[in-house]
Structure 1
């Protein structure tokens, strides 16, 4: 019986102790946690932003590639010269696929991501100074060789490009490199 009484008094004492104690974190504990969160955020945020920029460029590169492929397919299908046109209008890169006989200003233009810009490594010829034209003849052969290069407006070093590398119309996608090849870093 004494054991039960003693046990009850211990349980009651524990309950009283818990009611009187302050539960939660102390100020130094909270400061340590906030400091750790701040350090982790400082490390993670730049990497996250670089990841997002790279994803945007990859998506824009895919759109450019498929626009060129669409122009090439239409050229062989219709047995006419078609082109993929690219321009920057009001700070937005746009693309259009249309017959070469159609004035590019009358084409149906599509927008790329607003954070993407045409890079200075873009080097296709154009009939209008503001439009880059990638032309394919009735057999799907490329009229000119060159590249459409894209980069981020915020000035990141990351680049993506689509290159027409043979007169037969072979195309490939490239990315930025640290060593220049023919004075181009996107290959």
Structure 2
């Protein structure tokens, strides 16, 4: 009886399939019974594609600023680490070799941050072009993405304000010098601001560039040399001045 009912069902199903339009086809399951109709022209309409594209665009617009901010902060953190390492290298080399060593920072004509660690000279700070290295070496900081500024007017002496650096091939004022004991000879850390007893210190400031190398964002990182013994600390944003 079951076999007869199955044959009748298949005959009825096949008859119905022949009456279907060309846009549909019949699917028979493994036990021989009809299971479902499947659209042969299934896909996305133009409106659906436009909606998906718009959604992707909106989500990208929301996520992009956050991602770019994250990238900028990570880049500044790495650059800050490189500045701190360069200053520490100059101090440690001075103590190790029992000689006066200096570290200088600048930005070259291609807007790439440069650093040099070298023996100091009693006749002034003379640097050859080969003394300069890109900050962080293999960090590959894009040219113009990080702006360098300092409050150093002359070796170990701060000026009246923080200003951007300018590339000078022979004499470089953005310099910190350590003597043979690793201390700072004749430093001037500035006058404490009103309501504070803490002097500004020698600051190397890094900031993210906005649109061009002439303007910077409020996202900053800095290294500050605070004491005669060459104590260093790191800071960020408004604490960098």
**TM-score bucket (shorter structure):** 0.7 to 0.9
Q: TM-score, normalised by structure 1?
A: 0.82
Counterpart contact for 1:86–1:93, Cα < 8 Å: yes
What are the ranges of 5 or more consecutive residues in structure 2 without an aligned counterpart?
Answer: 18-24, 28-35, 136-140, 156-169, 188-200, 211-215
The aligned length equals 177
Superposition deviation, residue 160 in structure 1: 0.7
| Cross-structure match for 1:156 | 217
What are the ranges of 5 or more consecutive residues in structure 1 without an aligned counterpart?
Answer: 178-184
| Cross-structure match for 1:126 | 154
Superposition deviation, residue 27 in structure 1: 2.4
| Cross-structure match for 1:78 | 97
Q: 1:146 aligns with which of 182, 185, 202?
A: 202
* Distance change (3 Å), C-alpha of 1:171 and 1:159: same
| Cross-structure match for 1:186 | 240
Provide the alpha-carbon RMSD of the alignment.
Answer: 2.6
Structure (1 or 2) with the larger CA radius of gyration: 2
Q: Distance in 2 between matches of 1:29 and 1:59?
A: 44
* Distance change (3 Å), C-alpha of 1:136 and 1:3: same
- What whole-Å deviation, never above 9, does each CA across 1:94-115 have from its counterpart, x for those lacking one? 1010111274422611113222
Superposition deviation, residue 130 in structure 1: 4.6
Q: 1:1-187 counterparts in 2 under 5 A?
A: 1-7=4-10, 9=13, 14-15=26-27, 17-18=37-38, 21-90=40-109, 91-101=111-121, 103-106=125-128, 108-112=131-135, 113=141, 114=143, 115-119=145-149, 122-126=150-154, 130-143=172-185, 144=187, 145-154=201-210, 155-177=216-238, 185-186=239-240
Q: Distance in 2 between matches of 1:33 and 1:111?
A: 44
Q: Which has the higher helix share?
A: 1
Q: Distance in 1 between matches of 2:44 and 2:221?
A: 49
